[in-house]
Structure 1
Amino acid sequence: MEQLNTPQGQFQLSRFPIRPKDSLRAWDAADEYLLNYLNDENIALKGNILIINDTFGALSTALATHKPTTLSDSYLAEQGIKQNLQHNHLAPDSVHFINSLQTPNTTLDLVLIKIPKSHAMLEEQLHRIRPFINAKTTIIAGAMTKMVHTNTLKLFERLIGPTKTSLAVKKARLIFSTVTDINLPENPYPLSLNLSPEKFTQQEYTMSNHANVFSREGMDIGSRFFLETLVKSQPVSDEALSMVDLGCGNGIVGLIVAERFPNAQLHFVDESYMAVDSARINFQHAFPNRSAQFSTMDCLGGLEENSVDMIMNNPPFHQQNVVGDFIAQQMFIESKKVLKQGGTLWVVGNRHLGYQGALKRLMGNCTVIASNKKFVVLKAIKR
């Protein structure tokens, strides 16, 4: 835990989840720039304040006394903010949380935006807040300079109004947008995508993909390779198995598994609210007479130990802009806990990530089921 010094006060902040020997801070220079600017320019911190994409809670914690609302697509971000409020002895209800599928309930006076990695996500968020802002609303966005592109500014101009940027400070930049009457284009999200029958299925699926869903415009090659391998390796079965699509995205892996296991109970899990909702929509469209569970949570923290027969996992190798295998390692550890004896964990990953060694150390076994130049599909059994 490190201390963030701002004009609003000093705050002890940590990233969520807390990991041993984590040397990364829970804020960046753009957070500092935003908070300093609010103070230096005497921006009114009253009325209805909305903070968007506050990854670990630097903005929400520093402004908690002003009762902001925080909008995020990340369950982890929400938990991180709550954790940092607690660290700093701030009331848990000092920040109101809404997820990316919800909207504000009143006109906004101040909107602070951390620019997300996904351009589509930013576009959807600007559409979402547009009905709740007016010419009196102050809108300030912040990001590291590498995240601010010409397309970013054009997006603000197209959906909000005239836009300008600040000078860079510590490789961070602010964006200022003035709300004007414009001919607002239609929100294109969620996208609707038709998946034609492929090697792994004879069905055609219509996929609904929210803006923050990975590979929302088409199936990624890793998932395609994973599904082709699963279909070759797993015969159709009438067993009533308990299965989890971990890090489900739009749920395509779970859909194909559900097709091959008609009596299985599927559970779709992701930390993205948009991903889980996309999976829900897609499963209900594909199997209208079948039930499944859909959970937004941190890995498998909400599942009972020794309760699952099979887990399918395509782990992310980054959290926001930080690359590493820490999320995959957490997913593997929690998978071992929730699997029954004899239960299987199926994983697809880039060859260079070394998941095979990690699984062998954790589970005592790991088999390479398939591989190509870029990916491996691994299977580990809980003994």
Structure 2
Amino acid sequence: MNRLSTSWGEVSLARFPADPRDPLRAWDAADEYLLRHLGETEPRPSGTVAVVGDRWGALATSLAAFHPVQISDSFLGREATRANLLRNGLDAGAVRLLSARDTPPERIDVLLVRVPKSLALLEDQLHRLAPALHEGTVVVGTGMVSEIHTSTLRLFERIIGPTRTSLAVRKARLILATPDPAIGAGPSPWPLRYALPDGIGVMSGRTVTNHAGIFCADRLDIGTRFFLKHLPGTRGPVRVVDLGCGNGVVGTAAALANPAAAVSFVDESFSAVASAEATHRENSGGEAEFLVADGVSRLPGGSADLVLCNPPFHSHRATTDSTARRMFGGAHRVLAPGGELWVVGNRHLGYHLRLRRLFGDCEVVASDPKFVVLKAVRK
């Protein structure tokens, strides 16, 4: 846990779930730059303040006195905001929490945008929010210099209005845009739908739906393609969990291969779960549930027969295996004795070492020069 000083006082902040072993802070220089800019600008924020893409609640918690609306696609980011408000003795209702799929406020007077890693997600968010802006709306974006590109500024220009950038401070930069209601950028082009290629098993040629911000939203990534070729077969009324489901293509494949299976699609991204639900609905009529959650935290222990997982190895721009560690631990808890965890990952990540420590052993099911599929059995 660390403390962040702002013009409105000092706040204690942590990521979610808080882990004393995690050296990563809940904010960075881009968040500090934005807060400092707001504190030095007159007039201070007023009216409806919308905070978009606040990664761990640092912005919303610091601005709690202004009762902001936080719009986030991340369940973990939302829970971090709740925890940080509580940590600082602030009213839980001081921040209105909306997901990226919720209807945004009808009018926004101050729009603060933490530039996401995904340009598609930024495009979708700006399209959804533009109708709520007016000529007097203050629009400020922030990000590290490495996150802000010419394409980023073009999106603000095309959807919001005239845009300029600040000088870089500690490798962070601000984006300052002036709303132009005459632009009329129109509706978001997202979600996208596309047909999958042949040669990937039961999902060959089928259509998937992808909301903005989903990993490889406009095509099938090569890791998932490899996984689909090597999925385990199941029979009868088993419980399958697609952990970190993304657009749901893996869980839908499991449902099609065994119509008697009950599949749980789980992800911490609201847009991912919405994508998985649309993909499953179009391709399979089997039993399914869709959970936005911190891994399998909402599933009972010992309730699953099979967990399928393609874990991310990034947390925003930081490379870390902390998410995979927590996914594997959650899978171990939720699997019934004899239940199996199947994982696909880049060979160099060494997931087999962690799985052996956790499960006692693991087996290489398939491999190629880039990826490996591993199986671990709950003893």
- TM bucket (normalised to shorter chain) is over 0.9
- The aligned counterpart of 1:178 is 178
- The aligned counterpart of 2:272 is 275
- In the TM superposition, what are the counterparts of 1:110-189 in structure 2 within 5 Å? 110-180=110-180, 181-189=182-190
- In the TM superposition, what are the counterparts of 1:197-208 in structure 2 within 5 Å? 197-201=198-202, 203-208=204-209
Q: Deviations over 1:3-51 (max 9, x none)?
A: 1011110001111111232222111111111111111112432210100
SS in 2 for 1:116: coil
- The aligned counterpart of 2:290 is 294
CA contact (8 A) 2:260 2:286 kept: no
Q: For residues 199 and 168 of structure 1, do their structure 2 counterparts lie closer, same or farther at Cα, with a shift above 3 Å needed?
A: closer
SS in 1 for 2:37: helix
Tell me the matched-pair count: 378
SS in 2 for 1:347: strand
CA contact (8 A) 2:156 2:163 kept: yes
Measure how far apart 1:199 and its partner are.
Answer: 3.7
CA contact (8 A) 2:142 2:172 kept: yes
Taking only aligned residues, the RMSD between alpha carbons, in angstroms, comes to: 1.2
SS in 1 for 2:311: coil
More divergent stretch after superposition (261-270 vs 99-108): 99-108
- Deviating beyond 6 angstroms after TM superposition, the runs of 4 or more aligned structure 1 residues are none
- The aligned counterpart of 1:362 is 358
5+ long unaligned stretches in structure 1: none
Residue 9 (str. 1) matches residue 5 (str. 2) = no
CA contact (8 A) 1:3 1:12 kept: yes
Name the CA distance, whole Å, in 2 between partners of 1:280 and 1:53: 23
- The aligned counterpart of 1:345 is 341
SS in 1 for 2:230: helix
- The aligned counterpart of 1:259 is 256
CA contact (8 A) 1:103 1:129 kept: no
Measure how far apart 1:226 and its partner are.
Answer: 0.7
Residue from 295, 299, 307 that aligns with 1:311: 307
Q: TM (normalized to structure 2)? A: 0.97
Name the CA distance, whole Å, in 1 between partners of 2:240 and 2:127: 36
- The aligned counterpart of 2:70 is 70
Residue 322 (str. 1) matches residue 318 (str. 2) = yes
Q: Deviations over 1:223-271 (max 9, x none)?
A: 01111011xxx34x54100000000000000111111111000000000
SS in 2 for 1:214: coil
Identity %: 44
Q: Deviations over 1:268-325 (max 9, x none)?
A: 00000000000001101112x4331000001111110011000000000011111111
5+ long unaligned stretches in structure 2: none
Q: For residues 15 and 73 of structure 1, do their structure 2 counterparts lie closer, same or farther at Cα, with a shift above 3 Å needed?
A: same
- The aligned counterpart of 1:80 is 80
SS in 2 for 1:327: helix
SS in 1 for 2:208: strand
SS in 2 for 1:229: coil
Q: TM (normalized to structure 1)? A: 0.96
SS in 2 for 1:130: helix
- The aligned counterpart of 2:223 is 222
CA contact (8 A) 2:196 2:203 kept: no
